[in-house]
Chains A and B, each alone.
Chain A
Protein backbone atom coordinates (compact mmCIF):
# COMPACT_ATOMS: atom_id res chain seq x y z
CA UNK A 1 0.00 0.00 0.00
CA UNK A 2 1.16 3.54 -0.75
CA UNK A 3 0.22 4.81 2.69
CA UNK A 4 -1.88 7.87 3.40
CA UNK A 5 -1.71 10.30 0.48
CA UNK A 6 -2.15 14.04 0.87
CA UNK A 7 -2.22 16.83 -1.67
CA UNK A 8 -0.97 19.38 -2.19
CA UNK A 9 2.28 18.96 -0.26
CA UNK A 10 2.81 22.72 -0.13
CA UNK A 11 0.35 25.54 -0.51
CA UNK A 12 0.98 29.27 -0.48
CA UNK A 13 -2.05 31.50 -0.71
CA UNK A 14 -3.20 34.96 0.14
CA UNK A 15 -5.46 35.91 2.99
CA UNK A 16 -9.11 35.58 2.07
CA UNK A 17 -8.62 32.83 -0.48
CA UNK A 18 -10.22 29.40 -0.22
CA UNK A 19 -7.91 26.48 0.52
CA UNK A 20 -8.78 22.83 -0.04
CA UNK A 21 -6.62 20.05 1.33
CA UNK A 22 -7.09 16.48 0.16
CA UNK A 23 -6.48 13.10 1.70
CA UNK A 24 -6.67 9.50 0.57
CA UNK A 25 -6.54 7.09 3.53
CA UNK A 26 -5.07 3.62 3.50
CA UNK A 27 -7.47 1.19 1.87
CA UNK A 28 -9.53 -0.71 4.42
CA UNK A 29 -9.07 1.79 7.22
CA UNK A 30 -12.29 2.77 9.00
CA UNK A 31 -11.13 5.95 10.69
CA UNK A 32 -9.78 9.17 9.22
CA UNK A 33 -8.33 12.04 11.24
CA UNK A 34 -7.35 15.60 10.39
CA UNK A 35 -4.65 17.24 12.55
CA UNK A 36 -2.97 20.62 12.55
CA UNK A 37 0.57 21.16 13.81
CA UNK A 38 2.14 24.48 14.80
CA UNK A 39 5.06 25.39 17.01
CA UNK A 40 2.80 27.20 19.44
CA UNK A 41 -0.04 24.69 19.77
CA UNK A 42 1.63 21.41 18.85
CA UNK A 43 -0.35 18.63 17.21
CA UNK A 44 -4.11 19.20 17.49
CA UNK A 45 -6.95 16.97 16.35
CA UNK A 46 -9.41 18.94 14.23
CA UNK A 47 -11.99 16.32 13.26
CA UNK A 48 -12.31 12.60 12.74
CA UNK A 49 -14.55 10.30 10.73
CA UNK A 50 -15.63 6.71 11.24
CA UNK A 51 -16.94 4.91 8.16
CA UNK A 52 -17.18 8.28 6.36
CA UNK A 53 -19.34 9.81 9.11
CA UNK A 54 -17.99 12.80 11.12
CA UNK A 55 -17.82 11.71 14.74
CA UNK A 56 -16.15 14.58 16.55
CA UNK A 57 -15.47 18.03 15.11
CA UNK A 58 -14.91 19.78 18.44
CA UNK A 59 -11.35 20.62 17.42
CA UNK A 60 -12.36 22.59 14.34
CA UNK A 61 -11.32 26.12 15.26
CA UNK A 62 -13.98 28.14 13.50
CA UNK A 63 -16.81 28.01 10.99
CA UNK A 64 -14.25 28.88 8.36
CA UNK A 65 -13.10 25.27 8.58
CA UNK A 66 -15.11 22.42 7.13
CA UNK A 67 -14.36 18.79 6.33
CA UNK A 68 -16.07 16.15 4.25
CA UNK A 69 -15.62 12.50 3.51
CA UNK A 70 -17.84 11.61 0.54
CA UNK A 71 -16.50 8.06 0.32
CA UNK A 72 -14.10 5.68 2.04
CA UNK A 73 -11.15 6.71 -0.10
CA UNK A 74 -11.31 10.49 -0.06
CA UNK A 75 -11.60 13.38 2.36
CA UNK A 76 -11.20 17.15 2.12
CA UNK A 77 -10.48 19.89 4.62
CA UNK A 78 -11.52 23.33 3.44
CA UNK A 79 -10.67 26.74 4.85
CA UNK A 80 -12.74 29.63 3.57
CA UNK A 81 -11.69 32.39 3.90
CA UNK A 82 -8.11 31.65 4.93
CA UNK A 83 -6.19 33.83 7.40
CA UNK A 84 -2.46 34.10 8.20
CA UNK A 85 -2.99 32.36 11.55
CA UNK A 86 -4.11 29.25 9.65
CA UNK A 87 -0.52 28.76 8.51
CA UNK A 88 0.50 25.33 9.76
CA UNK A 89 1.19 21.78 8.70
CA UNK A 90 -2.02 19.82 8.23
CA UNK A 91 -1.81 16.06 8.61
CA UNK A 92 -4.31 13.43 7.64
CA UNK A 93 -4.12 10.05 9.39
CA UNK A 94 -6.05 6.82 9.12
CA UNK A 95 -6.57 3.82 11.35
CA UNK A 96 -8.05 0.39 11.06
CA UNK A 97 -10.55 -0.75 13.68
CA UNK A 98 -8.71 -3.43 15.65
CA UNK A 99 -11.21 -3.73 18.51
CA UNK A 100 -9.10 -1.59 20.83
CA UNK A 101 -6.23 -4.04 21.09
CA UNK A 102 -3.83 -1.69 19.39
CA UNK A 103 -4.09 1.97 18.55
CA UNK A 104 -1.98 2.78 15.48
CA UNK A 105 -2.60 5.81 13.35
CA UNK A 106 -0.80 6.15 10.04
CA UNK A 107 -0.01 9.72 9.11
CA UNK A 108 0.27 11.19 5.65
CA UNK A 109 3.21 13.41 4.70
CA UNK A 110 1.27 16.57 5.51
CA UNK A 111 0.37 19.76 3.67
CA UNK A 112 2.46 22.78 4.56
CA UNK A 113 0.14 25.77 4.31
CA UNK A 114 1.32 29.36 4.30
CA UNK A 115 -1.27 32.11 4.22
CA UNK A 116 0.18 35.52 3.40
Chain B
Protein backbone atom coordinates (compact mmCIF):
# COMPACT_ATOMS: atom_id res chain seq x y z
CA UNK B 1 0.00 0.00 0.00
CA UNK B 2 0.87 3.65 -0.07
CA UNK B 3 0.75 5.95 2.92
CA UNK B 4 2.02 9.35 3.93
CA UNK B 5 1.90 10.52 7.53
CA UNK B 6 1.72 14.16 8.55
CA UNK B 7 0.75 15.74 11.88
CA UNK B 8 -2.78 17.07 11.59
CA UNK B 9 -2.18 20.46 13.16
CA UNK B 10 0.65 22.74 14.25
CA UNK B 11 0.43 26.11 16.00
CA UNK B 12 3.27 28.65 16.05
CA UNK B 13 3.87 32.30 16.84
CA UNK B 14 4.46 35.01 14.28
CA UNK B 15 8.18 35.46 13.63
CA UNK B 16 9.06 31.98 14.83
CA UNK B 17 10.30 28.92 12.94
CA UNK B 18 8.14 25.84 12.37
CA UNK B 19 8.98 22.39 11.02
CA UNK B 20 6.34 20.12 9.50
CA UNK B 21 7.25 16.47 9.08
CA UNK B 22 6.27 13.85 6.55
CA UNK B 23 6.99 10.13 6.54
CA UNK B 24 6.02 7.94 3.64
CA UNK B 25 5.67 4.37 2.42
CA UNK B 26 5.05 4.14 -1.30
CA UNK B 27 5.57 1.77 -4.21
CA UNK B 28 8.51 3.46 -5.83
CA UNK B 29 9.79 6.95 -5.23
CA UNK B 30 11.04 9.69 -7.51
CA UNK B 31 10.74 12.66 -5.21
CA UNK B 32 8.88 14.52 -2.48
CA UNK B 33 6.89 17.69 -3.11
CA UNK B 34 5.30 20.22 -0.79
CA UNK B 35 2.15 22.20 -1.54
CA UNK B 36 0.42 25.00 0.35
CA UNK B 37 -3.35 25.42 0.38
CA UNK B 38 -5.25 28.29 1.96
CA UNK B 39 -8.85 27.75 3.00
CA UNK B 40 -11.06 27.88 -0.07
CA UNK B 41 -8.04 28.01 -2.37
CA UNK B 42 -6.12 25.66 -4.62
CA UNK B 43 -2.90 23.84 -3.75
CA UNK B 44 0.17 25.78 -4.83
CA UNK B 45 3.61 24.31 -5.34
CA UNK B 46 6.33 25.12 -2.79
CA UNK B 47 9.22 22.73 -3.33
CA UNK B 48 10.43 19.43 -4.73
CA UNK B 49 13.25 17.20 -3.46
CA UNK B 50 14.52 14.33 -5.57
CA UNK B 51 17.83 13.91 -3.74
CA UNK B 52 18.79 13.83 -0.08
CA UNK B 53 19.49 17.14 1.56
CA UNK B 54 18.10 20.60 2.06
CA UNK B 55 16.58 22.85 -0.60
CA UNK B 56 16.08 26.50 0.30
CA UNK B 57 13.74 29.01 -1.33
CA UNK B 58 13.48 32.23 0.61
CA UNK B 59 11.78 31.62 3.95
CA UNK B 60 10.94 28.05 2.95
CA UNK B 61 13.29 25.06 3.14
CA UNK B 62 12.56 21.42 2.41
CA UNK B 63 14.58 18.42 3.51
CA UNK B 64 14.62 14.83 2.31
CA UNK B 65 16.19 11.62 3.62
CA UNK B 66 15.42 8.80 1.23
CA UNK B 67 16.97 6.16 3.49
CA UNK B 68 14.60 7.18 6.29
CA UNK B 69 11.59 7.77 4.01
CA UNK B 70 11.28 11.13 5.71
CA UNK B 71 11.10 14.75 4.82
CA UNK B 72 10.17 18.06 6.36
CA UNK B 73 9.20 21.57 5.42
CA UNK B 74 10.75 24.40 7.42
CA UNK B 75 9.19 27.85 7.50
CA UNK B 76 11.18 30.73 8.97
CA UNK B 77 10.11 34.22 10.07
CA UNK B 78 6.50 33.09 10.19
CA UNK B 79 3.86 35.51 9.00
CA UNK B 80 0.13 35.49 9.56
CA UNK B 81 -0.40 34.78 5.87
CA UNK B 82 1.44 31.46 6.31
CA UNK B 83 -1.62 30.07 8.10
CA UNK B 84 -2.73 27.35 5.70
CA UNK B 85 -2.62 23.60 5.13
CA UNK B 86 0.64 22.07 3.95
CA UNK B 87 0.68 18.82 2.01
CA UNK B 88 3.59 16.56 1.26
CA UNK B 89 3.24 14.46 -1.88
CA UNK B 90 5.30 11.58 -3.19
CA UNK B 91 5.95 11.14 -6.88
CA UNK B 92 5.62 7.37 -7.14
CA UNK B 93 6.85 4.80 -9.66
CA UNK B 94 3.81 5.45 -11.87
CA UNK B 95 4.83 9.11 -11.91
CA UNK B 96 1.71 10.05 -9.98
CA UNK B 97 1.58 12.41 -7.02
CA UNK B 98 0.26 10.75 -3.87
CA UNK B 99 -0.76 13.38 -1.32
CA UNK B 100 -0.64 13.19 2.46
CA UNK B 101 -3.59 14.32 4.54
CA UNK B 102 -1.92 17.65 5.27
CA UNK B 103 -0.82 19.66 8.29
CA UNK B 104 -2.92 22.64 9.24
CA UNK B 105 -0.64 25.48 10.39
CA UNK B 106 -2.06 28.20 12.58
CA UNK B 107 0.12 31.27 13.08
CA UNK B 108 -0.74 33.33 16.16
CA UNK B 109 0.22 36.95 16.73
Contact = CB atoms under 8 A, between A and B. Distances in A.
B8 to A, nearest CB: 11
B29 to A, nearest CB: 12
B97 A45 contact: yes
Contact of A103 (B33, B42, B44, B102): B33
Of the listed residues A91, A103, A109, the one surrounded by the most CB atoms of chain B closer than 10 A to its CB is: A103
Interface in B14-73: 30-31, 33, 41-45, 48, 50
Nearest to B4: A42
A61 to B, nearest CB: 16
Contacts of B97: 33, 45, 103, 105
Contacts of B100: 42
Chain A binding surface SS class: strand
Nearest to B33: A103
A37 to B, nearest CB: 9
B43 A43 contact: yes
Interface residues of B, number: 20
A105 B42 contact: no
Contacts of A109: 41-42
B45 A110 contact: no
B101 A103 contact: no
Given A91-B42, A106-B45, A43 B96 contact: no
B47 to A, nearest CB: 9
A49 interface: no
A100 to B, nearest CB: 7
Interface of B: 30-31, 33, 41-45, 48, 50, 87, 91, 94, 96-102
